[in-house]
Amino acid sequence: VTHLRRQFADTDLSPLEVRSKAIRTRTHKYVWRSDEIEEFYDLRSDPQENDDRIARDGVRAEELRRQLFGWFAEVSQPRERAA
């Protein structure tokens, strides 16, 4: 992004700095973004992910959010090396 800032000094490039992470099951997909926008899709009824259900299915979305960040916490832990 730094080289883009020099090339496009008069352009707001902040949307390019948004990070996103997702978790998917066979039936649902949850997307977390660093700009605090969340998305949640029912892949059975909406395989093209056009209908964001985050406001209507917050309980299930929260379950996937916890799984996603639980996984990140787990893989971020330093591992003990075998002797």
CA separation for the pair 59, 40 (Å, rounded): 11
**CA angle 39–74–24, rounded 5-degree value:** 30
β pairing state of 20-24 and 28-33? antiparallel
Per residue in 13-41, pLDDT tens? 666 677 889 999 999 999 999 888 999 99
**The pLDDT of residue 41:** 98
pLDDT digits (tens, 9 = 90+) for 41-61: 999 999 999 999 999 999 999
pLDDT at 12 over 80: no
Q: Is the pLDDT of residue 9 over 60?
A: yes
pLDDT at position 80: 73
How many whole angstroms separate alpha carbon 62 and alpha carbon 6? Answer: 39
